[in-house]
Structure 1
Amino acid sequence: MADTAGPTLLYAIKQVELAVRAGMDKMLRPLNITVSQYTALTVLRQRDGLSSAQLARNSFVTAQTMGELVATLEKRGLVTRTSDPTNRRRMLTHLTSAALAMLDEYDAAIEELEEKMLADLSDRERDELRRYLGSCRTALTDRSAR
């Protein structure tokens, strides 16, 4: 018997992710910045001074990818790195004022993209979607890694 219920939820979530990424790619292209770089910068805006490994985990990329990404951002003057006073071998990454200004400039555009995505949902449905997605993330997260 054929399944007429439509695509799986995993497929639908991936399609939403790809649409969001395409919108962000288009928006960030004039800055010559990738979505992964933008994500790392927004993570640092929330928690400045992360190690490269911590930043990688919070930005959904590998540690190797983050190392390359941070080096590129540092060359562009968007981040600086300092030695961790508690562990001299570990480097901490910090946003520069240029990065903060860029993020502030693009906040409204990112909010517009999110609003476009959620336009047909009521406030209650938006809150439920956030809660449901949070529950899904929690269920899939390796609790021993936290």
Structure 2
Amino acid sequence: MVNSEQERVGQRIKRLEQELTAAKHAALRPFKINVPQYGVLYELSRQSGLSGAALARRCMVTPQTMSSVLSNLEGRGLVERTPHPIHLQILEVRLTAAGKTLIREADVVVEEIEQLLDASFAPGGAGPFLEQLERCEKAVAAWSPKTTS
């Protein structure tokens, strides 16, 4: 058990996540988008034609949240949704020209924040840290509550 004077790893990870999110929100404010909207635009810049469900999984939000994010982005003319050519009930999401321009510009400032993270690592780089994070993710994902008999 961690004593009261020590900080738990999960608390430190959460604090870093909050600092990173706050920095990204501030960086994205001039572009009039938030972090979830940036995530959608970024994912679509990497792979066009994703469904809302696929975007929700990639951006780690609920389908309901993704629906709201997409409606907002579509209303601003940054994305367009069109029926899949075979599965007509599925809407594919693509960046518009305005969306492509915005994500190129916004990604420059987000990349600056990512570079700050990279620069904070020892000469070995982020690789060992990312490997350790992956092991931590797997360990937490494998956890299940203990049952009492």
TM tier, smaller? 0.7 to 0.9
> Which structure shows the bigger proportion of residues in helix conformation?
1
Q: After superposition, what is the alpha-carbon deviation per residue over 1:35-90, rounded to whole angstroms, capped at 9, x for unaligned?
A: 00001111111121111111101111100110111011001111001101221111
2 CA distance for matches of 1:65 and 1:2? Answer: 36
The 5 Å alignment of 1:1-146 reads: 3=3, 6-141=6-141
Q: Which runs of 5+ in 2 are unaligned?
A: 143-149
Q: How many residues align?
A: 142
Letter in 2 for 1:114: E
The higher relative CO (CA closer than 8 Å, separation ≥ 6) is in 2
Bigger shift: residues 34-43 or 98-107: 98-107
Taking only aligned residues, the RMSD between alpha carbons, in angstroms, comes to: 2.1
Q: Which runs of 5+ in 1 are unaligned?
A: none
2:50/2:92 contact within 8 Å kept: yes
Between structure 1 and structure 2, the one with the greater Rg is 2
2 CA distance for matches of 1:45 and 1:130? Answer: 24
Q: After superposition, what is the alpha-carbon deviation per residue over 1:71-120, rounded to whole angstroms, capped at 9, x for unaligned?
A: 11001111001101221111111111211111211222112112223333
Helix, strand or coil at the partner of 1:124: coil
Normalised to the residue count of structure 2, the TM-score between the two structures is 0.85
Cα 1:83–1:140 shift into 2, 3 Å:
farther
